[in-house]
Structure 1
Amino acid sequence: MCGIVGLYLKREALRPELGALLSDMLVTMSDRGPDSAGIAIYGDEGPGLKLTLQSDRPDIAFDGLAEDLGRAIGAEVSVRVIDTHAVVSLPHERIAAARDFFSDKDIRIMSAGERMEIYKEVGTPQSVVKRFGLGSMAGSHGIGHTRMATESAVTTLGAHPFSTDIDQCLVHNGSLSNHNYLRRMLARRGYAAQSQNDTEVAASYLSWRMGSGATLGEALEGTLADLDGFFTFVVGTEKGLGVVRDPIACKPAVMAETEDYVAFGSEYRAFSNLPGIDAARVWEPEPATVYFWERS
């Protein structure tokens, strides 16, 4: 089943409220998927690149991490620990060395970006929101997902959002029937999935297409031809928010737009506490149609 939410703020004055608004939307979708949840937040740019990390033993894994990582990659880094996650800031040119450093550690890289941070864990949306203090986070836009596992086990690594490129992530409601074929094809091209979730395959597909020269819009259109099954994808990038549904569009989806924001929800009730929702233009996104909103 699963529940998706997304919020793109047009008005700068609303940025301090992004985390609170998006968290409320996610919690409202709790009964669509109670086993794990996650949110991607696009906040301010840091001094370099941000890696969001996760560990099942953060007390051990993150102890002394700034010193150890800095020494290994030959650069100054900073570490901000939030529950089972940590956000590490480091120079762009040292990301390959950092990935090598973490390859044999009990630490998972959830995302990399100048603005994006991803927080996801096993548990209800309420518990995930509380653990990471998501309600107090600020930013321009974000997406979230609450999962009812179907294609893979209930694990942190299998939770959404999935990120396979810098400042890019994806959440998904539905099921792909050809994801094993795509998984093998993408692995041969250097986009090996880390989980058994079919959604990570979809995220890798977008990264592969864009790495081959396609725009995000072209990559999203490509999902309609190359991904078999039923799906609604909501994609976050450094600049904005994208949506596409399969040609049958059997999974529920609704959007709302005002002068202040664009919102996506699996159900209308996700919008119930958004400011000015009574005056919003509300519609169901068309099947096989790519929608995108971005800042200049």
Structure 2
Amino acid sequence: MCGIVGLFLKDRKLEGELGALTAEMLVTMTDRGPDSAGIAVYGAAIPGFVKVTVQSDMPARAFAALDALARTAAGDAATVTIKDSHAVITIAADRIEPLRVALTGAPEPLRIMSVGETMEIYKETGLPKDVVSRFGIGTMAGTHAIGHTRMATESAVTTLGAHPFSTGADQCLVHNGSLSNHNNLRRELRRLGIAFETENDSEVAAAHLTARMRDGRNLGEALTDALGNLDGFFTFVVGTRTGFGVLRDPIACKPAVMAETSRYVAFGSEYRALSGLPGIETARIWEPEPAAVYFWDRDGSTGDKMLAA
């Protein structure tokens, strides 16, 4: 049992409240997942630059020389912003690989949580209220966000085991459920050059979407393809640079509810996660259908609609 939340803003006037609204939704799901929590926030892009979010179990030591390491690998334009156990390194887009190499050789272990023009991922063990407080999620602005509270039932409680999982630029996934064929899929995806940090089945689901989108599929098409390739029971909420998607398995045994107004689209494992959103009393509320793909995109290529799977 885990908790999932997601918020996709249509109204730009709400962007300054994204962090506060999503943090409240996430904390409300604490009893569905008190072991760890995480959130992906999609904020403003800087043309020509990407953000690399890294994590350390010993941030005081690991981050002491991070600014110098980033500048050596990525040039004087590199900047480092430290947030508790995470740091966001902003670099020119063509300097990602030199930075990856430098991070691998850092004196203290540094784990890459996410890479993207707009996305930053923060996740740690502990109660959701403590996690969102540590990273100042409530003050963050952006266009959309997805979050997860975890109750570990199949693996240890660790930072890397927390959600969201990201295996591609500006792409991430949160998952409630369990996959039965993730080991076979992991082997296939490794042959395609996708690396894995954990044995978690949710990371495989994220990588499956990454591989399909690399082949030219949009988010809706990649989610539709997942229905034919992922065995098990699952509810996914997915984020991309401009999009937000939801998918439930054909049985849909995990709880899910959505709300839509002219200002936003929201997802929660339970309605109470949505109850504090502005205008919720007049929102269209529904339960996402089994084996149906829902996605919204800010570039307007899909429109705000459901695609039948």
TM surpasses 0.5:
yes
Q: Give the aligned partner of residue 22 of structure 1.
A: 22
Q: Does 1:144 align with 2:141?
A: no
Which ranges in structure 1 are unaligned for 5 or more consecutive residues?
none
Aligned pairs for 1:72-221 within 5 A: 72-105=73-106, 106-221=109-224
Query: 2:230: which partner in 1?
Result: 227
From 268, 272, 281, the counterpart of 1:269: 272
Q: CA deviation at 1:155?
A: 0.5
TM-score by length of 2: 0.94
Question: Structure 1 vs Structure 2: percent identity of aligned residues?
Answer: 65
Provide, for residues 79-131 of structure 1, a one-character-per-residue CA deviation record: whole Å limited to 9, x for no partner.
00000000000010010111111123300000011111010000010110111
> Retained in 2: the 8 A contact 1:176–1:198?
yes
1:225/1:96 CA distance change after superposition, 3 Å: same
Aligned residues of 1:49 and 1:90 also touching (Cα < 8 A)? yes
Question: 270-279 vs 187-196, which deviates more?
Answer: 187-196
Runs of 4+ off more than 6 Å: none
- Structure 1 length as normaliser, TM-score? 0.98
CA root-mean-square deviation: 1.0
Measured in 2, the distance between the counterparts of 1:214 and 1:278 equals 36
Number of equivalenced pairs? 296
Among 285, 290, 298, the alignment partner of 1:287 is 290
Give the distance between the partners of 1:205 and 1:50, measured in 2 at CA: 23
Q: Deviations over 1:119-153 (max 9, x none)?
A: 00000101101111101111111000000112321
1:170-195: per-residue Cα shift (whole Å, max 9, x none)? 00000000111111111121112111
In the TM superposition, what is the alpha-carbon distance from 1:75 to its structure 2 partner? 5.0
- Kept in 2, the 8 Å contact 1:113–1:167? The answer is yes
- Cα distance in 2 for partners of 1:274, 1:253 equals 16
- Contact 1:42–1:238 under 8 Å retained in 2: yes
Match of 1:259 in 2: 262
Aligned residue for 1:44, secondary structure, equals coil
CA distance in 1, matches of 2:231, 2:101: 34
Give CA-to-partner distance per residue, 1:26-77, whole Å, 9 cap, x none. 0000000100000100111135100011001111111121212211344531
Q: What SS class does the counterpart of residue 171 from structure 1 fall into?
A: strand
Partner SS, residue 285 of structure 2: strand
Letter in 2 for 1:149: A
Q: Retained in 1: the 8 A contact 2:54–2:110?
A: yes
Deviation of residue 219 (structure 1)?
Answer: 1.2
Residue identity opposite 2:8 in structure 1: Y
Contact 2:74/2:92 (8 A) holds in 1: no
TM superposition shift of 1:213: 2.5
Q: Structure 2: which 5+ residue stretches go unaligned?
A: 300-309
